[in-house]
Chains A and B, each alone.
Chain A
């Protein structure tokens, strides 16, 4: 089992629109007995607004935070927001690949970055460093009404040479985590279709179409709930659902929860504690918990085979 002693870099979204994501992760970590270590004085990760303008400065912004983790003496850092993850890991990757870039970035920093920090998304941290077996342990309750379509978005595992996590075309980590806490998962094809990302502001028309595709595919697959691991995905799929309905003539009413909120529910935390009330689409009775019903062993198959054998 990999090292669990990682720093936790929340990033700006988790203090604002994604505060429910932050709250639920902290509770899940508490239940799993993993200490959340937030680097003191962390700053902007250098994501889109920065790297769209200047790669060097974006790299320096990210590396400054990596230096903080380096100072804490930890092996790595996990970031719940995929944009933060991508910004931190891309800076790490570029500095490892090019000495010239590393020197330029370090020139801008007070303390140089040594290139030793392992950057992961918090999803990856929970999946790989903690593992599905451990994740199943604190489960107290079942969510019998819920059928979840996990939605990964674009950058949790892409580009593959940088992200180095899960299958870049058909990821399964979130599926496996949600299954591990006993909640039903549906498979569908649009796990990582574009949600429109930050284009919700300048190109609402386009984002409406993209979001519509993702939502309809999940519903067609039989899901009544979508799980996400990104504050921006959550916003596009949840907050804009009414907007999508108006523009596309649909009538979606599907709640969009963070995977950590679903885990938290099974661990016995209340919806309020997990910030579920902060979502726009009301999850209604989907979040009603019940006692755990032991899973049926694959009996019918065995009896069929046995019958065949006997005949």
Chain B
């Protein structure tokens, strides 16, 4: 056995605090090492050529690279050794950067630690066995979770690429938050006018199957072969019969239902179609308000419905779909303004959220686009906008910037002036964050052309005074406190993760951060991938972002799906669990502990029961290995013997 070891300087990243020449020198003394050298950038092309040349020249059959984390370049070097004719698993990486040079400043100690890491890696590589991938067929259908603008974009791009798409939307219509907006910044074009055609495309595309008012219940399987259980929530209206005529909504006597589409700006009927452009345009009963459910009698909608679509007995239905890839575009939530006690959110009717104000501005909203105060339905003449309501405030658990509030506040201030030329708007702000194309010009326009008064400072209290709301805050540029008597106060409440985001993440085996936004595989270089292969991200589920960014990410996720689905077969990672049938006693503890249901019971000839690993499902986590009482199930490339060899090398040094 001849081991070659390549020690990387990584510029000064490693060589700055590790004596790499000494590491190479010491490495040459390790039994089994036939060749060791230090080099400036081992990952560079000449660096890789050096490895290939050395394999040929010195007849090396195992390679160790001591450099950065295997997460960075393990794949690079596996390919290099494979090109030189070795099995790609005859390769080990010793991490002497993240685990060593970057975290310690003592050159002597770092050098010692680097040598130990190399010794362990050499011991492991000498125990390595050749492994080979097997390939499996890929289901070319795609699941998109969330029918907002990001999800619809991903669905349309995948479908245009020729793949069948299953689109699951939680609410009764696709469109998401964008469907609720009046205009969009910085062009002030009508939101539903540009979104509507996309919604219609989704509805009419032959390859898109839409499940509205449905949720993902269970995700089983693995990249290329997922089985998805979808819960179609009971609407109490047979959507195959409903024509969306709206007769039921007109006649329904229960008029106080909460209107989630309008964020409670005005009540709706217990049976309703959320908005005129809804896709699908179908009615749905809210049983918490419907008299048939609360009082046991009514039946008005059932009597009036011309197609007899009403069915009070309807129950949730579970359907199963099989797909190969998943795009998660489950959107965002908004901070409950009752958490901001000093603003009186929830206590004072004339303190509302920006999305509620958006519905007041919107021609298809409950006031037909007339701005009125909720308390007395009078037109407000003085409107105060409060930005960063919760955002960038650690004390209420939102340490981050919500990204797009500065822009929509400027837009709403401009629209306020358009609707009511004799009105005056004020904006309390911490910083104006407008880094997009045409964005800063837009916020300037709100101030210079529309006369919006921007006050730099935080609001400390909002309280009623007669019919007015007094907004008291600091003007940090003037160094004084200010009080503005407003008719209406609009709070730009923080963007949060969507309700239920962690639960969905757990179903999908993807990770989420402390704020419950989904975590991308790499913040710069893999922004739409997750660490679970086959699952991709788009839109605000990954973090607050505006419409152009959401659409861009939707298309990017679709591009990743299309490139994955361009292959008929995928190769599995052979570093998975394997059962030694001779040693297995058939206790089947591993079957119970496997988090991926990758292990099943198998009966051999003669009736002996043993565990069997389904290769394509096993994720190589190793839980079974530590469960097995007799060491019969071993994770390939991380077997007990291989790991003990590393430990021994460390103990001997």
Query: Which residues 317-356 of B sit at the A interface, judged by CB distance below 8 A?
Result: 340-342, 344, 347
B56 is an interface residue with CB less than 8 A from chain A = no
Question: Quick check: A170 and B461 within 8 Å, CB to CB?
Answer: no
Chain A residues with Cβ under 8 A from B464's Cβ?
189
Question: Quick check: A169 and B342 within 8 Å, CB to CB?
Answer: yes
16 intermolecular pairs with C-beta atoms under 8 Å apart: A167-B341, A168-B341, A169-B340, A169-B341, A169-B342, A170-B341, A170-B344, A170-B347, A189-B344, A189-B461, A189-B463, A189-B464, A190-B463, A193-B461, A217-B463, A220-B465
Chain B residues with Cβ under 8 A from A217's Cβ?
463
- The interface centre, meaning the residue of A167, A168, A189, A193 with most chain B CB atoms within 10 A of its CB, is A189
Q: In whole Å, how far is A169's beta carbon from the nearest beta carbon of chain B?
A: 3
Chain B residues with Cβ under 8 A from A190's Cβ?
463
Q: How far is the CA of A147 from the CA of B182 in the complex (A)?
A: 46
Q: How far is the CA of A167 from the CA of B465 in the complex (A)?
A: 22
CB-nearest residue of chain A relative to B462? A189
Q: How far is the CA of A265 from the CA of B340 in the complex (A)?
A: 36
Q: In whole Å, how far is B473's beta carbon from the nearest beta carbon of chain A?
A: 14
Chain A residues with Cβ under 8 A from B340's Cβ?
169
By size class, the interface of chain B is under 10
Chain A residues with Cβ under 8 A from B341's Cβ?
167-170
Q: How far is the CA of A47 from the CA of B51 in the complex (A)?
A: 73
A169-184 interface code vs B (CB 8 A; 1 in, 0 out): 1100000000000000
Q: How far is the CA of A170 from the CA of B338 in the complex (A)?
A: 10
Q: How far is the CA of A220 from the CA of B468 in the complex (A)?
A: 13
CB-nearest residue of chain A relative to B465? A220
Q: In whole Å, how far is A253's beta carbon from the nearest beta carbon of chain B?
A: 22
14 other contacts beyond A170-B341, A217-B463, with CB at 8 A cut-off?
A167-B341, A168-B341, A169-B340, A169-B341, A169-B342, A170-B344, A170-B347, A189-B344, A189-B461, A189-B463, A189-B464, A190-B463, A193-B461, A220-B465
3 interchain residue pairs of minimum CB distance: A169-B341, A189-B463, A169-B342
CB-nearest residue of chain B relative to A188? B463
Q: In whole Å, how far is B92's beta carbon from the nearest beta carbon of chain A?
A: 45
Q: How far is the CA of A170 from the CA of B463 in the complex (A)?
A: 11
Q: How far is the CA of A222 from the CA of B340 in the complex (A)?
A: 26
Q: In whole Å, how far is B50's beta carbon from the nearest beta carbon of chain A?
A: 55
CB-nearest residue of chain B relative to A221? B464
CB-nearest residue of chain A relative to B291? A309
Chain A residues with Cβ under 8 A from B461's Cβ?
189, 193
Chain B residues with Cβ under 8 A from A189's Cβ?
344, 461, 463-464
CB-nearest residue of chain A relative to B347? A170
Q: In whole Å, how far is A192's beta carbon from the nearest beta carbon of chain B?
A: 9
Q: How far is the CA of A15 from the CA of B347 in the complex (A)?
A: 39
CB-nearest residue of chain A relative to B253? A308
Q: In whole Å, how far is A170's beta carbon from the nearest beta carbon of chain B?
A: 5
B497-514 interface code vs A (CB 8 A; 1 in, 0 out): 000000000000000000
Q: How far is the CA of A100 from the CA of B173 in the complex (A)?
A: 59
Q: How far is the CA of A178 from the CA of B179 in the complex (A)?
A: 48
Chain A residues with Cβ under 8 A from B347's Cβ?
170
Q: How far is the CA of A220 from the CA of B470 in the complex (A)?
A: 14
Q: In whole Å, how far is B347's beta carbon from the nearest beta carbon of chain A?
A: 7
B480-510 interface code vs A (CB 8 A; 1 in, 0 out): 0000000000000000000000000000000
A147-188 interface code vs B (CB 8 A; 1 in, 0 out): 000000000000000000001111000000000000000000
Q: How far is the CA of A167 from the CA of B340 in the complex (A)?
A: 11
Chain B residues with Cβ under 8 A from A170's Cβ?
341, 344, 347
Chain A residues with Cβ under 8 A from B465's Cβ?
220
Query: Which residues 172-219 of A sit at the B interface, judged by CB distance below 8 A?
Result: 189-190, 193, 217
CB-nearest residue of chain B relative to A170? B341
Q: In whole Å, how far is B465's beta carbon from the nearest beta carbon of chain A?
A: 8
